[in-house]
Amino acid sequence: MKHLLDTASLTREDAVAILDIAEEMAQVGEREVKKLPVLRGRTVVNLFFEDSTRTRLSFEAAAKRLSADVLNFSAKGSSVSKGESLQDTVQTISAMGADAIVVRHSAAGTAQRLADTGWIDVPVVNAGDGTHEHPTQALLDAFTLRRALGGFPASGAVKDGPRGKGLDGATVAIVGDILHSRVARSNVHLLDRLGADVHLIAPPTLLPWGAETWPVTIHYDLDEAIAGQDFDAVMMLRVQHERMHESFFPNAREYARLWGLSEARLRALPESAFIMHPGPMNRGFEISAAAADSPRALVLDQVENGVSVRMAVLYRLLTGQEETID
Ligand code: NCD
């Protein structure tokens, strides 16, 4: 594995290896000294051409916990606003000595382009490319669910969840703006590969062309889907206004009424169902405060686990190792 560009081409073996290394990384996070010296002297560059809070900070925390140096670039306030191209920006930054590049961009395919063009010759990690993919988000979601649902790892270091068998056979719903969501695409591929039964629930206007060919069951009515299925987890997606150039639903109130995870819908779900959201959340819109703050919400676990998962990805790409050494 040279790069991490998507989950569509990630094998089950590579995915499971990353999740297993992330378990070990999580244990480092519980130590008094939360650092491993494995990437000492290496430099990880965060190239962010699109806004981000948790993904950028999470990659920074992950690299620092592995003792790497971190250079942070964000397009706002940079020479990109003076017209500098992607190629020149990337080559300028890599001339400062980058050992890995983490890139987020509004154009689908940017990470692939960096990996293919030969402008740079270091591992590239996709931190979100347009509406295409966001593989580390899917990996941290899978890690969080695997833990919450129990069964991993065999060492018993992690408490068993209610099902006691992890993701295999788990029924997971992804709800809302699938059309604009790179998180949804990455999750569909990865969850399917890890054995989960994936359901997409969205208005027809917010489902992409071709979704019926994905390994998913599609529902157009949230209440019917909740009544008809025993979901183990429900993943709510943010409505991505910044990517909407036309009207996909009548108004915010109508969206919340039909597609929001309200308190009543929370009660209609099985008591053991977990609630997830990649953040940032629009409270009162796609998710109610009752759902976001419920004891069944894994939203902050997702953030916490994101650091361990990104440590695992950087470690694997930069050292080529399959297991960690204490
Ligand atoms: C997501 C993203 O940027 O794709 N956020 C994240 O990385 N946690 C989802 C979103 O912006 O809604």
pLDDT in tens, 67-76: 999 999 888 8
Distance 181 CA to ligand 1 centre (A): 8
Question: Using an 8 Å Cβ cutoff, are 234 and 269 in contact?
Answer: yes
H helices then E strands: how many in the chain? 11, 9
The atom number, within ligand 1, closest to the CA of 128 reads 4
How far apart (Å, rounded) are the C-alpha atoms in residues 177 and 200? 10
Q: Please tell me the predicted confidence (pLDDT) of residue 156.
A: 39
The atom number, within ligand 1, closest to the CA of 240 reads 12
pLDDT in tens, 24-77: 999 988 889 989 999 999 999 999 999 888 999 999 999 999 999 999 988 887
Q: Which residues line ligand 1 (CB under 6 A)?
A: 54-55, 128, 134, 137, 182-183, 238, 240, 278-279
Distance 32 CA to ligand 1 centre (A): 31
The atom number, within ligand 1, closest to the CA of 182 reads 4
How far apart (Å, rounded) are the C-alpha atoms in residues 256 and 315? 41
Q: Please tell me the predicted confidence (pLDDT) of residue 74.
A: 86
Bond before 123 cis per omega within 30 degrees:
no
Q: Which domains does the chain have, with CATH numbers?
A: 12-133+303-319 (3.40.50.1370), 135-299 (3.40.50.1370)
Distance 148 CA to ligand 1 centre (A): 21
Low-confidence residues of the chain, pLDDT below 70?
A: 151-165, 322-326
CA distance readout (Å), 177 to 61, 201, 268: 29, 9, 22
Q: Please tell me the predicted confidence (pLDDT) of residue 161.
A: 54
